[in-house]
Amino acid sequence: MANPDRERLVALDKERVWHPYTEMSRYRETVDPLVVVRAEGSRLYDADGSVYLDANASWWTSVLGHNHPRLVEALRRQAGELCHTALAGITHPAAAELAERLCAVTPAGLEHVFYSDNGSTSVEVAMKLCLQYWSQNGRPERRGFVSLEEAFHGETLGVTALGGVEVFRRPFARSLLECIHVPAPTRPDSMERALDALAKAVLGNRDTLAGVVLEPVVQGAAGMQIYDPAFLVAARELCDEADVFLVLDEVFSGYGRTGPMWAGGHASVVPDLMCTAKGFSGGMFPMAATLATERIFEGFLGDPERAFYYGHTFCGNPLGAAVALEVLRVFDEEKVLEAAAPKSRRIAAAFDGLASLPGVTCVRSIGMIGALDLEGDSGYLAGAGWRVYEEARARGAYLRPLGNVVYVTPSLNIPDPDLDRLLEIVQESVTAVAG
């Protein structure tokens, strides 16, 4: 039955809202968007009464499920006290307590927290810290970066230089900072070639490199491509040898997405700079942080002009900080990582079982990530993934693909019945399209 309010909202949306990653004429003519009016746990509620399992935890953010009562309460409590204040010459309880707690759960050696408001800026901050550090500590010629082919580190112009996903990079390719892209060790038998290329890039450019930036263990936007943590160990050794900074972008991989709290933990690698966002605020608030070692922090001390002249209006925003602090408490008190371990085994078993379906060329999983490749054109704009999306939607799941890669990244505490139903929907939808 038509819902007049829903129709009106969709009409307003199509008239005015410019959607991300979306060709708008096709969207206007052919897409019937979900109109989500409420969410709870792993479910999204549409204005038309439909309910959808949120297979990607709303762009990989909602690690504790939607509207976790403790996070909602933390937000409500903070909103009653202080919604925003500048972080210059001022601090506030949430920012201070959160920084202390964050340093306690990140690898030893990361001692200082710089706040910003999204994943892209957390990496942008790391890049600027590298550049300014070398510029004022005797190595101004160090301005280049190394990243992986198919990397994704966000959308600001600075971090677009690091990115290797072709559609996101192409329009801006002529306006970017220097970056050497080396092959990722994500394909079968690619490790040796990747290590070799990384060694050449780092050691061969040691005089001009500012940093190496990696998504540890999983390249999300590349299509949930997973690699052996041994690569991180080698990257750490090469960065040490060349005295270049290692930046780990844990924006997607952090907060237990791959099993341990941080994906760098698979290899016990301590970066010089670490970026966190997405799960950092439980998907409730735009909020991010970049953590730095003592050495980097000290490189900005002394004369006033040595300060890091960088900040965002909403740096350390009290609402975001209060939620992020509560997220860490919930992880601890509800033993979220331990409770997710058996769920991740369910995901692995289900995806292993999908490997034999017609039309599926490859499956992989790690932690709370399961992914499969569909036969056919690959690349971000490929079509088969969208047909699976439609089938899944008809069955009650929001299963946005990455090109021909169909994947799930549910909240870490998704109830077992919801997880099992979601995995069934993946199976049924892939079978309907490819079978």
Please, what is the minimum distance in Å from the beta carbon of residue 288 to ligand PLP?
7
- Of 150 and 418, nearer to ligand PLP (C-beta) is 150
Please, what is the minimum distance in Å from the beta carbon of residue 71 to ligand PLP?
18
Please, what is the minimum distance in Å from the beta carbon of residue 421 to ligand PLP?
26
Strands laid side by side in the 405-408 sheet: 360-366, 369-374, 405-408
- Of 39 and 251, nearer to ligand PLP (C-beta) is 251
Please, what is the minimum distance in Å from the beta carbon of residue 155 to ligand PLP?
6
Of 63, 98, 148, 251, the one binding ligand PLP by CB under 6 A: 251
> Cα(372)–Cα(389) distance, rounded to whole angstroms?
13
- Of 58 and 429, nearer to ligand PLP (C-beta) is 58
Q: What is the 3-state secondary structure (H, E, C) of 291-304?
A: EEEHHHHHCCCCCH
Closest C-alpha to 247, from 116, 148, 368: 148
Of 154, 164, 259, 282, the one binding ligand PLP by CB under 6 A: 154
Please, what is the minimum distance in Å from the beta carbon of residue 252 to ligand PLP?
3
Residues in contact with ligand PLP, counted by CB under 6 A, come to a total of: 16
The SS3 call for residue 44 is strand
Query: Of 8-16, 47-55, 147-155, 353-361, which part binds ligand PLP (CB under 6 A)?
Result: 147-155
**Cα-Cα-Cα-Cα dihedral sign, residues 62, 225, 275, 97:** positive
Q: Closest-CB residue for ligand PLP?
A: 119
Of 52, 115, 145, 152, the one binding ligand PLP by CB under 6 A: 152
Residue 153 touches ligand PLP, criterion: CB under 6 A: yes
422 near 397, Cβ under 8 Å? yes
> For residue 362, what is the enclosing H or E element?
strand 360-366
Question: Count of CB atoms within 10 A of residue 375's CB?
Answer: 13
- Of 71 and 247, nearer to ligand PLP (C-beta) is 247
Closest C-alpha to 37, from 24, 51, 27, 21: 51
> Cα(213)–Cα(168) distance, rounded to whole angstroms?
17
Please, what is the minimum distance in Å from the beta carbon of residue 66 to ligand PLP?
17
| List of residues 6+ apart from 207 with CB closer than 8 A | 139, 141, 142
> Cα(258)–Cα(33) distance, rounded to whole angstroms?
30
Q: Which residue has the tokens 């710089």?
A: 114
Please, what is the minimum distance in Å from the beta carbon of residue 166 to ligand PLP?
17
The DSSP call for residue 107 is: P
Please, what is the minimum distance in Å from the beta carbon of residue 250 to ligand PLP?
8
Residue 249 touches ligand PLP, criterion: CB under 6 A: yes
Residue 99 touches ligand PLP, criterion: CB under 6 A: no
Q: Which residue has the tokens 């096709």?
A: 26
Write the DSSP string, 109-147: TEEEEEEESSHHHHHHHHHHHHHHHHHHTT-TT--EEEE
Using alpha carbons, list the distances in angstroms from residue 355 to 120, 375, 402.
Answer: 34, 12, 18
Question: For ligand PLP, what does the binding mask look like between residues 205 and 234, x meaning CB under 6 A?
Answer: ----------x----xx-------------
Of 134, 227, 245, 252, the one binding ligand PLP by CB under 6 A: 252
Question: For ligand PLP, what does the binding mask look like between residues 107 and 136, x meaning CB under 6 A?
Answer: -----------xxx--x-------------
> Cα(289)–Cα(271) distance, rounded to whole angstroms?
14
Closest C-alpha to 154, from 146, 163, 145: 163
- Of 44 and 123, nearer to ligand PLP (C-beta) is 123
Within 258-287, the residues that bind ligand PLP by CB under 6 A are 277-278
Residue 147 touches ligand PLP, criterion: CB under 6 A: no
Using CB under 6 A, list all residues that contact ligand PLP: 118-120, 123, 152-155, 215, 220-221, 249, 251-252, 277-278
